[in-house]
Amino acid sequence: MKNKYVIYIAAIIIIVLIVSSAFVYLNYYAPNKSKTASQQTISITDDEGYVTNLTSIPQRIVSLAPSCTQILFAVGAGDKVVGVTTYDDYPYNFSAWVAAGNMTYDGGYGTPSMEAIASLNPNLILTDNINDGSNLASMRASGYNVVVLNPTSIAGIYHDITLVGKATGTETQAAAVVENITNTINSITTKISDAHITTSMKVFYEVWGPPEGSFMSSGSTTWINSVITAAGGVNIFANETQQYPTVSSETIVALNPDAIFLPTEMGITPFYGSVAQVEATPGWNTISAVQNHRVYVIDGDLFAEPGPRVADCVYAVASDLYPQLFNSTS
C-alpha cells in the first residue's frame, strides 16, 4: 500500500513538472524565440566599408543605378523595388511600368530626386558610387539605409550579388545566380584554354576620348579589366592602378593593341565619332588593331553596368578576340 502511495505521488509530481515546463515554454521561451527571429539584425558592409544594420527584410527598395536594379531583379527581390532611375531599361521596360503607375522614377543616374525618394518611403536604397559625396551624405543624414555597390572585378560582382541576396532575404536565389554566371564564364575561359592560343591579344578599351585631346581607359582596379582577362585578352593598361587613367595617343601607339573596343553611348552620337574616324587618328596607322581592322563597337550600357550580365560582357569580348572559337560574325 505504501509503495502504491509513493508511485502515485511521484506520478503527480511528474505531471506537474511536465505541465509547468510546457506553460513556461509556451508563455515565455517560444514567444521570445519568435521575437528574436523577427528582430534579428541583418548587418551589411558595403563596398565602401560602410555598415548598415537592417532590423527586418526590406519591403520597399529604391535603386539609384541600373546595375543595382538588375541585381535586385536577378535575385528575386524585384517585387520589392518601388523606384528606379530614368536610365533603367533592363530587365524590363520600366517606362511602361511608370506610365501604368506600378513604378516610380526616383531621378536620373547620378541625379537622384530627394523628393521622389521621400515619397517612396524606402527602407533600403541601393546605389553605385556615382552618388558618393553630397547625395550620399544627404540620404544618410535623412535616416535612409543606403548600401553602395562598387565592384572592381568579376569576383566583386559575385560578392555584390551575394550581398544583395543577404540584404533582401534571397540568399538562395543569389547563390544560384552567382553559380550560373560562374559556370558560363568558366565555359568561355575553358574554350579559350583548350585552343592553346600561345599569344593573348592586347586590348585597348576606350572609356572616353577626343575631342578633349586625351584618352581614358580602364586600369587594373576596374571590373572591365577583369572582363578582358577572362575573355583571354591582356589590357594594355593593366599596370595602371588608377581606375580610369588618362593616357596619351603616343602611349597607345607604343603599346600597340591588337584590338580596340569602343562603347556605344546611350543612343546618341558616340564621343569617338565612328570606327573610320578612330582608325584615321593621326599616328594610329601603325597600330596592329587599325591595320587589321580590329576596332570593335560594343554595347555601352552593358559595359557600364556591373551585374548579372557580366558573362555577356565576357562573351562579347571573347567572341571579337577569338571569332574562330565562338563563331562570331564580327
Residue type, 310: V
Q: Is residue 294 part of a domain?
A: yes
Blockwise average pLDDT, block size 10, the chain, 330 residues: 51 52 48 48 96 97 98 98 97 96 96 97 97 94 97 98 98 98 98 93 91 86 97 97 94 98 78 89 96 96 96 98 78
Best CA proximity match to 278, nearest among 172, 206, 181: 206
3-class DSSP state of 148:
strand
Q: Is residue 29 part of a domain?
A: no
Q: Same domain for 134 and 199?
A: no
> Which pLDDT belongs to residue 273?
83
> Which pLDDT belongs to residue 32?
47
Among 142, 176, 210, give the residue marking a domain's end.
176
Q: Is residue 103 part of a domain?
A: yes
**Cβ atoms 227, 317 nearer than 8 A:** yes
Q: Is residue 281 part of a domain?
A: yes
Report the distance separating Cα 252 and Cα 265, nearest Å. Answer: 22
pLDDT in tens, 206-245: 998 866 678 999 999 999 999 999 999 999 999 999 999 9
Beta bridge partners of 259: 203
Q: Same domain for 225 and 302?
A: yes
Best CA proximity match to 43, nearest among 144, 145, 175: 145
Q: Same domain for 199 and 172?
A: no
Q: Same domain for 156 and 199?
A: no
**Cα–Cα–Cα angle for 53, 54, 58, rounded to 5 degrees:** 150
Q: Is residue 31 part of a domain?
A: no
Q: Same domain for 147 and 212?
A: no
> Which pLDDT belongs to residue 169?
97
The structural domain count of the chain equals: 2
**Cα–Cα–Cα angle for 135, 138, 143, rounded to 5 degrees:** 130
Report the distance separating Cα 67 and Cα 64, nearest Å. Answer: 9
Report the distance separating Cα 85 and Cα 66, nearest Å. Answer: 7
Element (H, E) at 54: strand 51-54
CA 74 vs CA 68, 162, 178: distances in Å: 10, 11, 10
Q: Is residue 236 part of a domain?
A: yes
How many other C-beta atoms can be found within 10 angstroms of the C-beta atom of residue 287? 23
Q: Same domain for 199 and 283?
A: yes
Q: Same domain for 168 and 255?
A: no
Here the contacts of 194-199 (C-beta below 8 Å, separation 24 or greater) are 195/322, 195/325, 197/232, 197/322
Q: Same domain for 172 and 199?
A: no
Q: Is residue 61 part of a domain?
A: yes
| Helical ranges in the chain per DSSP H | 2-24, 30-38, 66-74, 94-99, 114-120, 134-141, 154-168, 171-194, 223-230, 249-255, 275-279, 288-291, 310-321, 323-326
CATH assignment at residue 74: 3.40.50.1980
> Which pLDDT belongs to residue 209?
83
Q: Same domain for 201 and 167?
A: no
Among 118, 149, 176, give the residue marking a domain's end.
176
Q: Same domain for 202 and 268?
A: yes
Grid cell, residue 47, equals: 563596398
Q: Same domain for 171 and 260?
A: no
Rounded to the nearest 10 degrees, the angle between the axes of helix 154-168 and helix 310-321 is 160
Q: Same domain for 47 and 172?
A: yes
Note the pTM of the prediction, 2 decimals: 0.86
Boundaries of domain holding 50: 42-176
Cβ density class 85-117: b for 16+ within 10 Å, e for less: bebbebeeebeebbeeeebbbbbebeebbeeeb
